[in-house]
């Protein structure tokens, strides 16, 4: 995913074929050799995956399933209060387990009959054009590891909780799935790196961190907010601006902190009209024009 890639732990393949995930010193799992070994195995399996083949299961520990249970319960409570109706509709349709981490193949099998989206395992960084381009073909690249059990409500990197609770619930909605696909088509259509970056920043400020007015309240639909224990509680206090393509495509952000500038759609229709239409039609010229400050 966009720029999150920078915060994914680098994955290296050693000369002997072994795969190593390099966790930073401050990572909660840094000193846990069993966790690190599991991360290496998960990355190795993902690297060995071929599209169309079944996704290999991950051997999560009981402690890791417990992390999912705790986070799932906390987020579920927050969602009922702060998530948009369309996201909750996706959640109901998908019916993710609350007591254990679902395998990615299971998520993919549940999602495909609903909206056609399928999951692909990602070892780590997925190049921007590949990640977004795949959305046009209804494929979502997803990490499989879970955050370290010592801090269940915190993760320095996008883990399976973000990818599945945040994204798969949205991808189970026909309307959100259509927007993800349009973002993918836009990423395929544009040619310059600047245009691709613009398209992906609009994605960031909508499908990752978007908020929406619903019955007079500000609700969240972005996967980044809805998979974060802290951000589901804090987003209403952020700097909330009206939906604005030029601003979204050019506003810088820092993934290491809470997202402090958010963009508000007036409704699902408004989001589809402005952002859906932009992705459906944009090209290098459109994005270049929008990127130039007005006046």
Feature table: binding site: 162, 167, 208
CB of 17 to Fe ion, least distance (A): 30
Q: Near Fe ion by CB under 5 A, which window of 89-97, 129-137, 173-181, 221-229?
A: 221-229
Q: Near Fe ion by CB under 5 A, which window of 20-28, 194-202, 215-223, 256-264?
A: 215-223
Q: Near Fe ion by CB under 5 A, which window of 99-107, 118-126, 216-224, 268-276?
A: 216-224
User: Contacts with Fe ion: how many residues (CB under 5 A)?
Assistant: 2
DSSP for 127-166? -HHHHHHHHHTTEEEE------TTSTT--SS--HIIIIII
Q: Give catalytic status of residue 162 as yes or no.
A: yes
Which of the residues 235 through 294 are near Fe ion (CB under 5 A)?
none
Q: Give catalytic status of residue 149 as yes or no.
A: no
Q: Give catalytic status of residue 167 as yes or no.
A: yes
1 makes contact with Fe ion (CB under 5 A): yes
Longest dimension (CA), the chain: 59
Q: Annotated binding residues for Fe cation, as ranges?
A: 162, 167, 208
d(CA 168, CA 175): 13
157: Cβ contacts below 8 Å, ≥ 6 apart: 4, 7, 8, 9, 143, 147
Q: Return the number of the residue (161 or 290) whose C-beta is nearest Fe ion.
A: 161
Which one-letter DSSP state was computed for residue 216? Answer: T
Tokens of 259: 């997202």
202 makes contact with Fe ion (CB under 5 A): no
Q: Return the number of the residue (56 or 223) whose C-beta is nearest Fe ion.
A: 223
SS3 at position 269? helix
Q: Which residue is nearest to Fe ion (CB)?
A: 1
Q: Return the number of the residue (121 or 286) whose C-beta is nearest Fe ion.
A: 121
Tokens of 101: 């981490």
Nearest Cα to 201, choosing from 121, 90, 277, 279?
A: 279
Q: Are strands 211-214 and 217-220 parallel, antiparallel or unpaired?
A: antiparallel
Q: Give catalytic status of residue 227 as yes or no.
A: yes
Q: Near Fe ion by CB under 5 A, which window of 1-9, 12-20, 123-131, 273-281?
A: 1-9
The pair phi, psi for residue 140, each rounded to 5°, is -120, 120
Q: Which one from 162, 197, 200, 231 is the annotated catalytic residue?
A: 162
123: Cβ contacts below 8 Å, ≥ 6 apart: 11, 19, 42, 43, 44, 46, 47
CB of 158 to Fe ion, least distance (A): 5
- Residue identified by tokens 């009209």 is 273
Q: In this structure, are residues 176 and 207 in contact, taking their beta carbons and an 8 Å threshold?
A: yes
CB of 1 to Fe ion, least distance (A): 4
Q: Which one from 197, 208, 214, 231 is the annotated catalytic residue?
A: 208
21 makes contact with Fe ion (CB under 5 A): no
Q: Return the number of the residue (275 or 290) whose C-beta is nearest Fe ion.
A: 275
CB of 4 to Fe ion, least distance (A): 6
Catalytic residues: 162, 167, 208, 227
Residue ranges that bind Fe ion, judged by CB under 5 A: 1, 223
């Amino acid at each position: 995913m966009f720029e999150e890639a920078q915060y994914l732990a680098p994955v290296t393949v050693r000369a002997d074929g072994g795969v190593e995930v390099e966790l930073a010193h401050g990572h909660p799992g840094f000193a846990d050799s069993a966790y690190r070994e599991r991360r290496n195995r998960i990355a190795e399996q993902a690297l060995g995956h071929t599209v169309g083949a079944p996704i290999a299961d991950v051997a999560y520990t009981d402690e890791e399933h417990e992390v999912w249970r705790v986070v799932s319960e906390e987020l579920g409570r927050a969602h009922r209060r702060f998530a948009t109706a369309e996201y909750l509709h996706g959640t109901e349709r998908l019916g993710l387990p609350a007591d254990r981490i679902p395998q990615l193949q299971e998520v993919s099998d549940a999602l495909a009959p609903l909206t056609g989206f399928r999951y692909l395992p990602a070892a780590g960084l997925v190049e921007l054009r590949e990640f977004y381009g795949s959305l046009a073909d209804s494929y979502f690249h997803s990490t499989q590891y879970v955050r370290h059990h010592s801090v269940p409500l915190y993760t320095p990197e996008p883990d399976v909780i973000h990818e599945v609770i945040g994204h798969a619930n949205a991808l189970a909605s026909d309307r959100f799935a259509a927007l993800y696909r349009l973002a993918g088509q836009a990423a395929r259509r544009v040619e310059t790196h600047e245009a691709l970056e613009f398209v992906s920043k609009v994605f960031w400020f909508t499908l990752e961190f978007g908020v929406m007015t619903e019955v007079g309240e500000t609700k969240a639909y972005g996967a980044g907010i809805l998979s974060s224990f802290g951000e589901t509680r804090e987003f209403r206090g952020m700097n909330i601006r009206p939906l604005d393509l030029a601003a979204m495509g050019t506003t810088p952000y820092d993934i290491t902190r809470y997202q402090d500038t958010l963009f508000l759609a007036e409704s699902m229709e408004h989001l589809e009209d402005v952002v859906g239409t932009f992705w459906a039609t944009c090209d290098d010229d459109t994005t270049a024009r929008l990127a130039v400050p007005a006046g």
